[in-house]
Structure 1
Amino acid sequence: MPKYICLGNFTQQGVKNIADAPKRDESARRLAELAGGNAQIYYTLGEYDFVALIEMPNDESMLKFLIQMCSMGNVVTKTLKAWSESEFAEVVGQMKGSL
């Protein structure tokens, strides 16, 4: 299943309603599960307030998930598509003849 890394920050609204963050996290996990995926959320120190590790069936499912999450106005995100080491090694292995 495709993997994504979301780097996120709270908006002013998200900070104002920070006490609701645990409920929003649960909603995000349920939304991901309804789309056939899963989400793990970690709060961080530094440039980003949180990092989410998300698996979704495809890019379209991920896009829908992000639109729903960001349209609530509590967070803004930067999203990266990710490959595991074994997935990366498989792609590189397929390229051996073309390098």
Structure 2
Amino acid sequence: MPTYISLCRWTQQGAQKVKESPARLDAARKAFQTGGVKMLHFFMTTGKYDMVIISEAPNDEALAKATLSLISQGNITTQTSRAFTETEYRSIMAAL
């Protein structure tokens, strides 16, 4: 299953209600599961981004739906990239 890395930041709304963030994370994890997306790892981070989420989804569309549903609540913004495993990387390089 494809892996995705989402770099997230709290919006002003999300920061104002930061104490609710753990409950929002639990709800997001459940919503992702409903859409076939598995949240593998969650990290709160320092620096430019507030959180990093690593997830697996059956395809880009499933991940897009889950992410759009999450950001539509107005608490975070995301920048998501497809991540290739080392095996996938080696296969791509071998095909060049």
Normalising by the smaller structure, the TM-score range is over 0.9
1:20 aligns to 2:20 (yes or no): yes
CA RMSD of aligned residues (A): 1.0
CA deviation map 1:9-36 (0-9, x unaligned): 0000000110110011111111111122
CA positional deviation for 1:41: 1.3
CA positional deviation for 1:87: 1.3
Instruction: Select the structure of larger CA radius of gyration.
Output: 1
Q: TM (normalized to structure 1)?
A: 0.91
Secondary structure in structure 2 of the residue aligned to 1:51 = strand
State the partner residue of 2:76. 75
Using the alignment, how far apart are the partners of 1:25 and 1:3 within structure 2?
19
Give unpaired runs (5+ residues) of structure 1.
none
Report how many aligned residue pairs link the two structures.
Answer: 95
Give the ranges of 4+ consecutive aligned residues of structure 1 lying more than 4 Å apart after TM superposition: none
Give unpaired runs (5+ residues) of structure 2.
none
Q: TM (normalized to structure 2)?
A: 0.93
CA deviation map 1:41-78 (0-9, x unaligned): 11001110000001111100011011100000000011
State the partner residue of 1:87. 88
